[in-house]
Each structure stands twice: as structure tokens, then as C-alpha cells.
Amino acid sequence: MTVREIQDQKAVAREMYVQQAAHANADASAGPLRGATIYATESRRDYALESTADEFCEGADSSLLPVVQVAAANLMRVLRQLEVIAKRQAARIAFKAKGSILLLDLADILAVQAEGNYVSLRSRTNPYLVHESLSSMAEKLLPYGFVRIHRSVVVNISAVEEIQPLLTGEYRLRVKGGTEYLVSRTYKHNLRDLAQLWVGSERLCG
């Protein structure tokens, strides 16, 4: 999916939200809804659509308010996920290697592993050594879909294929290509970030 396609999806999602708000207010006239916001009145029996553009305001059926609130929450969650995907797909990392400056797509990095005073960028093709601390790399990569699973390992969320719980309370994590990493108990709470939806148990990776 290209960045342009992701931006188009975000625009469509916003338009769907505005349309949902308009349909929820069955008694409202077809006034301007662009820039509209939804809020509950103090009586909690009504809500209104307020236009920030021209102060359009209409009463509405309060029975529809929860539906609109849930839709709005879902919309914002989807928009945040799309933004993370856009950053991950559009961003590249630049680093020095063997006297040159290389550019590598972040999506091609499966994991980052500490090796002394260096970190090893484990790409789909070759590993690259970079003179940087793992803590610094983990902080820089966090907005692009990378999570820390061990004091010496950071993984790309989109590269993880399997998680296996161990009797020690730790986990074994496998990324694309078959490489496995140990998830320590200190960082196991980060496993929740590997997927947007968990089903089957509320205690997964807890």
C-alpha cells in the first residue's frame, strides 16, 4: 500500500464519520456539516451537532449518541494505525557502513540487536553494523513500529510471525525468515503492541 493510498483511506474514513453523524441526527435539516463536532449536553438527554464554520446547531435523538461515540472512537483508532503504517512504509534509515552512507527501508529491517558498542540491523538480506546504542535506536524506531523485547533486541512488529510462551514466564518470538529471539519478562508487556486485535484469551502475553 502506497502513502498516497493510505492518505486516500484516511480521507474516506473522515468522510464516513461525517456521514454517520448526519444520519444519526434524523431530525436535523440538511445544514452544513463540514468541521462538525459532537458533544453531549449537561442534561445527558440530548446532543447537538455544532458546526465550527457557521455555528449551525440542531437538537438530536439521544438514543443515537452511543452509536456515534463508538464509531468516532473506532475511526480515531484506525486513523492512528494508518499513520503508523504510513510512517513505517515511507521512512528510510541512513547510516554509515564501510565508508559509505547507506539508505535502507525500515520495512526491510526485521530486528535490531546489540553487539558491544554497536547495533546490528538485521535486514532481509544482510546485517549491518552501526555505531549506536540499542537504547538510542529503540527510542528512534518506536514511532515506526518497532518494540523492545529484550535488553539487547528490538523487533519490527510487522516481521513477527509467531510467539511461543515458555515455562520460565518468558516467550520465544519468531520473525520472517525463521530467526528466533527470546522475550524477557521485563519486556513481555510490549508483546501487546504486536497486534491491533487479540482474541481467544484476555490473558495473552499478560
In this structure, is residue 123 part of a structural domain?
yes
Q: Determine the Cα–Cα distance for residues 114 and 129; give it in Å rounded to an integer.
A: 9
Instruction: Identify the CATH number of the domain in which residue 115 sits.
Output: 2.40.50.1020
Q: Determine the Cα–Cα distance for residues 5 and 9; give it in Å rounded to an integer.
A: 6
Query: Which of the listed residues 90, 125, 143 is the one where a domain comes to its end?
Result: 90
Q: What is the pLDDT of residues 58-81, one digit of tens each?
A: 444 545 555 555 577 777 777 777
> What range defines the domain where residue 8 resides?
3-90
Q: What is the pLDDT of residues 164-189, one digit of tens each?
A: 999 998 999 999 989 999 999 999 99
Q: Determine the Cα–Cα distance for residues 32 and 62; give it in Å rounded to an integer.
A: 21
Mean pLDDT of 48-63: 44
Instruction: Report pTM.
Output: 0.55
Per-residue confidence (pLDDT) for residue 195, from 0 to 100: 84
Residue 129 shares a structural domain with residue 38: no
Looking at per-residue pLDDT, the higher value among 169 and 206 belongs to 169
Query: Which of the listed residues 56, 90, 124 is the one where a domain comes to its end?
Result: 90
Looking at per-residue pLDDT, the higher value among 89 and 116 belongs to 116
Q: What is the pLDDT of residues 5-31, one digit of tens each?
A: 665 666 666 666 556 655 555 444 444
Per-residue confidence (pLDDT) for residue 76, from 0 to 100: 78
In this structure, is residue 18 part of a structural domain?
yes
Among the residue ranges 88-92, 121-125, 139-143, 147-151, the one predicted with the least confidence is 88-92
Mean pLDDT of 143-151: 94
Residue 107 shares a structural domain with residue 83: no
In this structure, is residue 69 part of a structural domain?
yes
Residue 81 shares a structural domain with residue 174: no
User: Kindly report the CA angle at 63 between 62 and 69, in degrees rounded to 5?
Assistant: 80
Residue 109 shares a structural domain with residue 86: no
Residue 107 shares a structural domain with residue 80: no
In this prediction, residue 125 has a pLDDT band, given cuts at 50, 70 and 90, of confident
Looking at per-residue pLDDT, the higher value among 40 and 166 belongs to 166
Residue 33 shares a structural domain with residue 110: no
Mean model confidence pLDDT for the chain: 74
User: Kindly report the CA angle at 80 between 16 and 143, in degrees rounded to 5?
Assistant: 160
In this prediction, residue 200 has a pLDDT band, given cuts at 50, 70 and 90, of confident
In this structure, is residue 202 part of a structural domain?
no
Residue 41 shares a structural domain with residue 84: yes
Residue 104 shares a structural domain with residue 138: yes
Residue 177 shares a structural domain with residue 124: yes
Residue 79 shares a structural domain with residue 168: no
The total number of structural domains that make up the chain: 2
Among the residue ranges 38-42, 71-75, 194-198, the one predicted with the least confidence is 38-42
b or e along 93-110 (b: 16 or more beta carbons within 10 Å of the residue's beta carbon)? Answer: bebeeeeeeeebebbebb
In this structure, is residue 171 part of a structural domain?
yes
